Structure 1
Amino acid sequence: MTYQESAAIDATAGVDQDEAMHERMMRYTVAGMFFVGFAGKGIRGIFGDIGSLVPMLILLAAFVVLFRSSGRSLLLRRFPTTISMFVLWCAVTCIWSIDPALSAQYWVVQSALTLVAIAVSVALPLTDLVESLILSFQWIIASSFILELVVAVIGRGPLAPPTLWGRGHLPASSYWVDGRLFEGGPIQGFPGNRNPLAFIALLLAVCLVLRWMQTRRALPSTLAWLAACGVTLLLTQSATVALSTAGCLTVVVGLVVQRRVPVHLRLRVVGIFTGTGIIAAVIAFFARHWIADAFGRSPDMSGRSIIWHSAAPLIAERPLGGWGWFIGWPTWLEPFAGLVVRQDGTSTNQAHNAYVEAALTTGCVGAFLVTAAIIWTLFRVVKVAVAHIDDNLWDVIPAVLMIAMFIQSFTESRLLFEGNWMLFVIIATWVKVRGEVPIVWPSAARQYLEYS
């Protein structure tokens, strides 16, 4: 081997190592952003509202550097149309907001999060996106059990977040964790709320199951983390996430069945599962009292119907543009002050329904745009999932995640905020970019369902 050949090989190896290092750094940076997005309450509890900007800005700066060094760019045609229109409409609502300056601040945060999410979707292939998501969720689950274990062993529960230490007795909703791990829960974990923690466990389980079905690798670690997800779901005792879990299980079973059904019968199977889901939803509505008793909850979904009824007159008062865009209601301002008061004396700061939330803060225009974005994204990711059910289960993961968030959107407003919004925008951007890639369809299916 000549000196020139040896030097060329060394140079190639060096380039490969640099690329591998760059990809690893990008995955960990994105995982960090997911962690901050989905466990934002825990981050704010440690650093405070202002102090929490420091880790966010560090992660953002690292991502921008990595994104620019990758040679990729943000093109306008990559932006999801309806989501972009909603974000722009949020800016317009600042004009008539009850607090224009505060609405403008929240709009800047929402715009920045949207741009970052679009950039993440452009920067990483789907496999790396899923790996980053899995990594961040594993961090949240692990840190949650460590925190709950420490508090339970020391016996100092309920534990307030560090920013509230020394303030004496606090309202129940202000505590970080209650220290009930050895009592069988409910636990709140690092996110400081059992519903987001349970939802994170569900999303992690979905990613792990479908990744293993595609790769057939790392079975021991997959089973261990699935067990952790199962324990988390049991200990959080979240009835709302139980509904999402049932929906996801139905979808995964349906996808497994699809792989064993002849191509010409697949649309019929999709129709059967869709119809079954609709019938199950109707039955669940009329059987909500029995279901509530089974979970030890109230039939009004833990007071959610009270919130929705209280929000209805405000929506009717400003039906077109709402009261101004907010990420969480400013409960120190009218008409949100004292709108719905919890048992611990604190005011509820969200509608616990993404569509009611959008209608209240951005009016019917904003609610229409959000609904259109969700339905259109859901439709397209399901098409991609059905198209690749035989050869690529990676492409199925966005569909199942989107279905889980869609079900959750009826009992939580989180789809519009922080980590859930980031994941939603990433999926919407991915499916738009994915839609530009030609796909070879089975000839029998092409005449029924055209993917564009």
Structure 2
Amino acid sequence: MNSARAPRHPHLRAVVDVLESPRFSAVLATVSIGTVLLTHAVRSMIGWPGLIAALATLAVMAGAVLYVRRDQFEWLGILPVTLLAFVGWSIVSTLWSQYQWTTVSGVLYQVVVGLLAVFVAIGRDLIQIVRAFGDVFRLVLGVSLAVEILSGIIFDVPIKFLGVLGNIAIGGPIQGLMGSRNMLGLITLIAVITFAVESGTRSVRRETTIASLVLAGVVFVLTRSPVASFAGLVVALAAVALLLIRRTPAERRQGTQIGFGILAVVAAAVAYFARGPIVGLFNAGGELQVRLSLWRQTWALTQLHFTEGWGWAGSWRPDVLPFLAIRTTNGRIPTSALDAYIDVWFQLGLIGLVIFVAFLGLALTRSWIVASNRRNVAHVWPALVLVALAFVSAAESAILTEWGWFLFVVCAVKAAQELSWRRGLRRTEVG
């Protein structure tokens, strides 16, 4: 910290020294990642008040670290304009929201999680971020598998407060600490990406990488999640394409990018017209019917506030209208539209959807360009994570809240750090 700004009181100076410590930032980043990833488990054990207190405490400490280290960061262009626009539109929706207090609490929750993501993104370099996520993923997957073994094999009873059904003895599906098989499957998929990048950067021992991938493979299979399985195929294809692009000589790389882009559009069109067989292949028929019914109900309500939406809520509140009126065909009370794009349109209207698609599209484009042109393998991580989140958003709304929003903001901010038009504009003006 600048000596002119250093506090004179010894106790306050000691606090500042701790906040400036790289070790404190590393621990705070890892704890923040773990808490956000395990919000379902934390909420199940200590309730909403406990979770909110934990996140608020972490956010205050993260804000304090960013403040005392403010001279160490290049703030221009560090936050994507589209991120600010999306959060801003969520805040503005309070003015016409049909449930204003729900919107206020939803926005505050979104901002707190977003602040923690910004702290992780700008307070740690990319390899450190990948390593921190890798450590947390190993913990989450290991404990999830242990809980399932306890529930399904040793005690043979469901652990209801965690949402664990104890199906591991019959080969799944398992839910672990994430509350549902799809959420556990998605987290496991992102964990596989993380472990692979760790291996590529040689930041962990080979034995650790092998053990981590085996653990992730076992958990992934046991989730029996059709959503995660389909997303895994898409991510695998994207990883192959990215690997080929990275190995292409620089003078031919742009043409290769365009070729893969055309191929992706054609593949998307084929997948759309062949969606029936694809759904059958991944055994997603039952889940698809549930989603179709939910989407129809949500779309009918969206028409009533087509442009501006009903107001931001984040996760749905089943005791508040209009969420109270929506039910799934399997009798469950939905907490989202199970489609991020429909969900955003429903809550923030067409304007919000345009901002969200621009935010996601720009973050994905930036991260893909960086991953294609930078030699460091760590740059592949944000690109593939955003591919997974973008694809899964057609079947889940995870990207809008908690761990999905956290990952989204981390990747978007890291991509903006590498390719910011505002920084480029300033360099041009200075030059």
The TM-score, its normalising length taken from structure 2, stands at 0.87
Aligned to 2:3: none
Once the two structures are superposed, the pairs formed by residues 247-266 of structure 1 within 5 Å of their partners are 247-266=234-253
Measured after TM superposition, the shift of residue 61 of structure 1 is 4.1
1:27-176 to 2 correspondence within 5 Å?
27-71=26-70, 72=72, 75=75, 77-161=77-161, 176=163
CA–CA separation in structure 2 for the residues paired with 1:123 and 1:294: 43
State the distance in 2 between where 1:92 and 1:61 align.
24
Q: Which structure has more helix as a fraction of its residues? A: 2
Seen in structure 2, the aligned counterparts of structure 1 residues 52 and 115 have a Cα distance that, compared at 3 Å, is closer
Give the Cα separation in 1 of the matches to 2:321 and 2:56.
Answer: 32
Which amino acid is the alignment partner of residue 273 of structure 2?
F
Larger deviation: 109-118 or 366-375? 109-118
1:275 match: 262
Q: 1:22–1:66: 8 Å Cα contact kept in structure 2? A: no
1:206-225 to 2 correspondences below 5 Å: 206-215=193-202, 218-225=205-212
Q: Is the 8 A contact 1:288 1:299 kept in 2?
A: no
Aligned-partner residue type, residue 92 of structure 2: V
Q: What is the one-letter code of the residue matched to 1:410?
A: A
Alignment match, 1:195 = 182
CA shift at 1:397, angstroms?
A: 1.4
2:401 paired residue among 412, 417, 425: 417
- Matched with 2:306 is 319
Q: 1:371 to 1:268 in 2, by over 3 A?
A: same
Aligned residue for 1:447?
A: none
Aligned residue among 356, 368, 371 for 2:354: 368
Q: Kindly, what percent of the aligned residue pairs are identical?
A: 25
**CA 105–260 in structure 1, closer or farther in 2 if over 3 Å, else same:** closer
Q: Is the 8 A contact 1:86 1:370 kept in 2?
A: yes
Correspondent of 1:182 among 166, 169, 179: 169
Q: Structure 1 residue 376: deviation in Å?
A: 0.9
* Alignment-derived partner of residue 412 in structure 2: 428
Letter in 2 for 1:362: L
Larger radius of gyration, structure 1 or 2? Answer: 1
**Cα contact 2:55–2:112 (8 A) shared by 1:** no
- Provide, for residues 174-210 of structure 1, a one-character-per-residue CA deviation record: whole Å limited to 9, x for no partner: x610111121100000111111111111111112212
1:137 is matched by which residue type in structure 2?
Answer: F
Shift of residue 156, structure 1, vs aligned partner: 4.2
Q: Is the 8 A contact 1:155 1:179 kept in 2?
A: no
Greater CA drift, 66-75 or 322-331: 66-75
RMSD over aligned Cα, in angstroms?
2.5
Aligned length: 406
Residue deviations 1:338-366 (CA, integer Å, cap 9, x gap) = 312342x3322211111111110111111
1:414–1:231 CA distance, 2 compared to 1 (3 A) = same
State the AA in 2 paired with 1:381: S
Matching residue within 336, 341, 366 for 1:380: 366
Whichever residue aligns with residue 59 of structure 1, its letter is: L
- Which amino acid letter does the alignment assign opposite residue 41 of structure 1? H
| Deviation beyond 6 Å, 4+ runs, structure 1 | none
* TM-score, with length taken from structure 1: 0.83
User: Residue 337 of structure 2 aligns with which residue?
Assistant: 351
CA distance in 2 between partners of 1:250 and 1:295 (Å): 17
Deviation by residue 1:14-64 (Cα, 9 ceiling, x = unmatched): xxxx99x94343233222222222221111101111122233234334434
Take 2:75 and 2:385, find their aligned partners in 1: how far apart are those partners? 25
Query: Is 1:231–2:215 an aligned residue pair?
Result: no
**What is the CA-CA distance between 1:436 and the residue it aligns to?**
5.2
Residues 253-308 of structure 1 show CA distances to partners (whole Å, capped at 9, x for unaligned) of: 12322344333332333233333333332232233332332333217625212221
Write out aligned runs for 1:2-41 (5 A).
22-41=21-40
Greater alpha carbon shift after TM alignment, 285-294 vs 182-191: 285-294
- Residues 111-164 of structure 1 deviation map (CA, whole Å, 9 limit, x = unaligned): 222233223212111111111111221121111011111112333432111xxx
SS in 2 for 1:337: helix
The 8 Å contact of residues 363 and 412 in structure 2, kept in 1 or not, is answered as yes
Q: 1:178 to 1:414 in 2, by over 3 A?
A: same
The whole-number CA distance in structure 2 between the counterparts of 1:112 and 1:177 is 28
User: Are the equivalent residues in 2 in contact too, given 1:74–1:119 (CA < 8 A)?
Assistant: no
Match for residue 335 of structure 1 among 322, 346, 350? 322
CA contact (8 A) 2:151 2:166 kept: yes
Structure 1 segments unaligned to the other structure (5+ residues)? 1-17, 162-174, 440-452
Deviation, 1:224, is: 1.0
CA distance in 2, matches of 1:259, 1:46: 45
Cα distance in 1 for partners of 2:96, 2:21 equals 45
CA contact (8 A) 1:157 1:177 kept: no
1:3 counterpart residue number: none
Distance change >3 Å, CA 74–CA 39, structure 1 → 2: farther
Q: Within 1, Cα distance between the matches of 2:245 and 2:420?
A: 25
